[in-house]
Structure 1
Amino acid sequence: MDSPFLHEWVFQHAARRPGAPAVASPTARLTYGDLAERTRALAAELAASGVRPGDRVLLALPSTPATVVAGLAVHAAGATAVEVNREWSAAILGDILARSRVRHGFLWARDARTWRGAGAGALLERAWVVHPGPLPAALHDDLGIPATWLQLDGRLDPRAAPAPYRPPPAPAREAPALVLYTSGSTGRPRGVVQTFGNVDANARSIVAYLRLGPDDRALLVLPLYYCYGRSVLQTHLLTGGSVFLDGRFAFPRLVLEALAAEGCTGFAGVPLTFEIIRRQVDVSTLRFPRLRYLTQAGGPMAPDTIAWVREAFHPASLFVMYGQTEATARLSYLPPERAEDKKGSIGIPIPGVELRVVGEDGADLPAGEVGHLVARGANVTPGYLDEPEATAAILRDGWLWTGDLAARDADGFFFHRGRSKEILKIGGHRVSPVEIEHVVARHPEIAESAVMGEPDALLGEVPVAYVVPRAGATPADAELRRFCRAQLPAWQVPVRFVLVDALPRNEAGKLLRAELARRAGAA
Structure 2
Amino acid sequence: MRHFAELPDIRAELNPTDPCIADDLEYLDNNAFAQRVRQAAAVLQANGVGSGDVVAVVLPNRLELVIILFAAWRLGAAITPINPALTDDEARYQIEDSAAKIVITEGEQGVGTLDVAQVAGAAAIANTAVAEPFSVISETLALIIYTSGTTGRPKGVLLDHGNITAMCGMLTERLELDDTDHSLLILPLFHVNGIIVSILSPLLAGGRATIVGKFSKQTFFDVVERVRPTYFSAVPAIYAMLVALPEELRPDISSLRRVICGAAPMPAELIARFETRFDVPIMEGYGLSEGTCGSTLNPPAGRKPGTVGLPMSGQTVAIMDPDGNLLTDGSPGEVVVRGPNVMRGYLGRPEATASTIIDGWLHTGDVGRFDSDGYLVLVDRIKDVIIRGGENLYPKEIENVLHSHQAVLEAAVVGAPDAVLGEVPVAHVVLAPGSIAADGELLEHCRKTLSRTKVPVSIFLTEALPRNPVGKIDKRKLRTMTISS
Normalising to structure 2: TM-score of the pair?
A: 0.94
Aligned residue identity for 2:47: S
CA drift of 1:185 comes to: 4.7
The answer to whether residue 173 in structure 2 is matched with residue 211 in structure 1 is no
Which of 234, 239, 256 matches 1:274? 239
Q: Deviations over 1:52-82 (max 9, x none)?
A: 2100110111110111111111111211101
Whole-angstrom distance in 2 between the partners of 1:441 and 1:406: 20
The answer to whether residue 402 in structure 2 is matched with residue 440 in structure 1 is yes
In structure 2, do the counterparts of structure 1 residues 283 and 26 end up closer, same or farther at CA, with 3 Å as the change threshold?
A: farther
1:238 alignment partner in structure 2: 204
The answer to whether residue 48 in structure 2 is matched with residue 50 in structure 1 is yes
Q: Deviations over 1:208-236 (max 9, x none)?
A: 11111111101111011111111121101
1:323 alignment partner in structure 2: 287
1:515 alignment partner in structure 2: 477
Which of 352, 356, 360 matches 1:394? 356
Whole-angstrom distance in 2 between the partners of 1:434 and 1:247: 32
2:115 alignment partner in structure 1: 129
8 Å contact from structure 2 (residues 416, 482) kept in 1: no
1:461 alignment partner in structure 2: 423
The answer to whether residue 444 in structure 2 is matched with residue 482 in structure 1 is yes
SS at match of 1:26: coil
2:301 alignment partner in structure 1: 337
8 Å contact from structure 2 (residues 46, 127) kept in 1: no
The answer to whether residue 284 in structure 2 is matched with residue 286 in structure 1 is no
SS at match of 1:54: coil
SS at match of 1:179: strand
CA drift of 1:399 comes to: 0.7
SS at match of 1:244: strand
In structure 2, do the counterparts of structure 1 residues 92 and 387 end up closer, same or farther at CA, with 3 Å as the change threshold?
A: same
2:102 alignment partner in structure 1: 104
Which of 255, 265, 272 matches 1:307? 272
8 Å contact from structure 2 (residues 42, 126) kept in 1: no
1:258 alignment partner in structure 2: 223
8 Å contact from structure 2 (residues 76, 140) kept in 1: no
2:81 alignment partner in structure 1: 83
The answer to whether residue 9 in structure 2 is matched with residue 23 in structure 1 is no
In structure 2, do the counterparts of structure 1 residues 382 and 271 end up closer, same or farther at CA, with 3 Å as the change threshold?
A: same
For structure 2, the residue ranges without an aligned partner over 5 or more in a row are none
Q: How does 1:360-509 map to 2 (within 5 A)?
A: 360-471=322-433, 475-509=437-471
8 Å contact from structure 1 (residues 44, 77) kept in 2: no
Q: Deviations over 1:3-57 (max 9, x none)?
A: 21x2311210111111111111221111111110000001011111111210011
8 Å contact from structure 1 (residues 253, 281) kept in 2: no
Whole-angstrom distance in 2 between the partners of 1:89 and 1:520: 26
The answer to whether residue 188 in structure 2 is matched with residue 223 in structure 1 is yes
Q: Deviations over 1:243-273 (max 9, x none)?
A: 11113422x2422222232221112111011
Q: Deviations over 1:393-425 (max 9, x none)?
A: 110001101111111233322211111111112
2:2 alignment partner in structure 1: 3
8 Å contact from structure 2 (residues 260, 283) kept in 1: yes
Whole-angstrom distance in 2 between the partners of 1:449 and 1:176: 39
CA drift of 1:301 comes to: 0.7
8 Å contact from structure 2 (residues 5, 136) kept in 1: no
Whole-angstrom distance in 1 between the partners of 2:329 and 2:419: 35
8 Å contact from structure 1 (residues 246, 255) kept in 2: no
SS at match of 1:163: coil
1:66 alignment partner in structure 2: 64
Whole-angstrom distance in 2 between the partners of 1:307 and 1:468: 18
Whole-angstrom distance in 2 between the partners of 1:247 and 1:156: 18
Whole-angstrom distance in 1 between the partners of 2:126 and 2:358: 50
Aligned residue identity for 2:208: S
8 Å contact from structure 1 (residues 92, 184) kept in 2: no
Whole-angstrom distance in 1 between the partners of 2:79 and 2:185: 20
The answer to whether residue 348 in structure 2 is matched with residue 348 in structure 1 is no
Number of corresponding residues: 484
Aligned residue identity for 1:175: T
Whole-angstrom distance in 2 between the partners of 1:204 and 1:373: 22
8 Å contact from structure 1 (residues 283, 312) kept in 2: no
CA drift of 1:379 comes to: 0.6
CA drift of 1:299 comes to: 0.8
Whole-angstrom distance in 1 between the partners of 2:12 and 2:18: 8
8 Å contact from structure 2 (residues 271, 305) kept in 1: no
Whole-angstrom distance in 2 between the partners of 1:266 and 1:233: 12
CA drift of 1:97 comes to: 1.8
Which of 139, 156, 168 matches 1:191? 156
8 Å contact from structure 1 (residues 41, 163) kept in 2: no
Whole-angstrom distance in 2 between the partners of 1:68 and 1:322: 24
Whole-angstrom distance in 2 between the partners of 1:68 and 1:514: 32
In structure 2, do the counterparts of structure 1 residues 337 and 459 end up closer, same or farther at CA, with 3 Å as the change threshold?
A: farther
Matched residues, percent identical?
32
CA drift of 1:311 comes to: 2.5
Aligned residue identity for 2:336: V
8 Å contact from structure 1 (residues 248, 254) kept in 2: no
Whole-angstrom distance in 2 between the partners of 1:365 and 1:374: 11
8 Å contact from structure 1 (residues 88, 184) kept in 2: no
Aligned Cα root-mean-square deviation (Å):
2.1
Aligned residue identity for 1:129: D
Whole-angstrom distance in 2 between the partners of 1:407 and 1:447: 26
1:145 alignment partner in structure 2: none
For structure 1, the residue ranges without an aligned partner over 5 or more in a row are 131-147
8 Å contact from structure 2 (residues 19, 28) kept in 1: yes
Whole-angstrom distance in 2 between the partners of 1:79 and 1:263: 34
Q: Which moved more, 1:90-99 or 1:436-445?
A: 436-445
8 Å contact from structure 1 (residues 270, 509) kept in 2: yes
Which of 28, 38, 41 matches 2:39? 41
Whole-angstrom distance in 2 between the partners of 1:470 and 1:219: 26
The answer to whether residue 142 in structure 2 is matched with residue 177 in structure 1 is yes
8 Å contact from structure 1 (residues 227, 325) kept in 2: yes
Aligned residue identity for 2:78: T
Q: Which moved more, 1:478-487 or 1:7-16?
A: 478-487
